[in-house]
Amino acid sequence: MADQAGFDTVWFPHDIFMKHTWVVTSAVAAATSRIKVGSIGTNPYTTDPAEIASYLATLDELSRGRAVIGIGLHTNDMVEWAGVDCTHLLRRTTQSVAMIRGLLKGETVTCDTDDFHWNDQCYLRFTPMRAKIPIYVCAFGEDYLALSGEIGDGSLPMLTPPASVSRMVSCIKKGLKRRAAPPKAYDIAGCAWLSISEDGAEAERKMRSMISYFGSYLEDQALQCIGLRASDFDEIAALVKAGNYAQAQQAVTPEMMQLGLVGTPHQVIEQIEALADQGITQISLGGPIGPDVKKAISLLGKTVIPHFQA
């Protein structure tokens, strides 16, 4: 539906206890003809750069040159559930991106660092369809966001809340200035939660489920933009942990509703325009999408996308 509706890219969050994105993106690549496909938040801890490179090259071949990827994390918490130590995240991300790029170019990538110990047998045993596949960097926090601007073909910051956009863009631009030859065009693909419907009240009700579940994982610096802290979600997080999802959703405050893009097509267009004015070049619209996902995708294709194409 998104392919036919005119979306440019479909990203699947690579959460380690959710449906595996490498399988899902492969299925989507086979079922579509135009839209770019990739996983986002593909972390270099539970997935080795060698596996990421071979996945990316294979997906690119399967999709006939439509693969993209977002390397990194938007939070440490979910990976740390599995006992993974995310220390030195910037260093590991930097090394991983360089190693993946080398493998895609057909190079033998040797590396002997604190994070990786690769010998002279580390090269792809097949020729990728493209030697340069777009590698975005998913990041959070000032230093990590700056790194995304420094090494990424694009950046995938989480705009939770959308009011944090100026801070995100500012950090990314600091990293862009560190480049020896800054690119003429750089894609800042802001990820925002969306709930859209012709009925604005229905859209708001659906957004509550997203906010109640994920709100406690957001960073304080971003939340401060709307006068909140992660600790403000402690009660809601306890209700979610206990399985009281309905109560958790009811506990979401009006201030918390500012964490996503919510409303009718006209309201959503205005909210996206405000993000574009502050430097976002691609808006990645994440779940819940709307009370009815199919209707929401259709609505976006008929109203929001044509507005920005025009």
- CB-based contact 211:260 (threshold 8 Å): yes
In a domain, 287, yes or no: yes
Does residue 165 form part of some domain? Answer: yes
> Would you state the pLDDT for residue 77?
81
- Calculate the dihedral angle through the C-alpha atoms of 282, 283, 284, 285, rounding to the nearest 10 degrees: -160
**Separation of alpha carbons 182 and 77, rounded Å:** 32
- Asked whether residue 57 is assigned to any structural domain, the reply reads yes
pTM value is 0.92
Whether the CB-CB separation of 42 and 11 falls below 8 Å is answered with no
Instruction: Note whether residue 210 is domain-resident.
Output: no
Q: Which domain holds residue 273?
A: 2-193+264-309
Name the band, by pLDDT with cuts 50, 70 and 90, for residue 76: confident
Q: pLDDT tens digits for 8-66?
A: 999 999 988 999 999 999 999 999 999 999 999 999 999 999 999 999 999 999 999 99
pLDDT, tens digit, 9 for 90 and up, residues 176-228 = 999 999 898 999 999 999 999 999 999 999 999 999 999 988 888 889 999 99
In a domain, 93, yes or no: yes
81: exposed, middle or buried (C-beta count within 10 Å: 0-12, 13-18, 19+)?
Answer: exposed
Backbone φ and ψ for 47, nearest 5 degrees, come out as -125, 120
CATH number of the domain residue 132 falls in: 3.20.20.30
Is residue 174 a part of any domain in this protein? yes
User: Would you say residue 221 lies in a domain?
Assistant: no
The structural domain count of the chain equals 1
In a domain, 253, yes or no: no
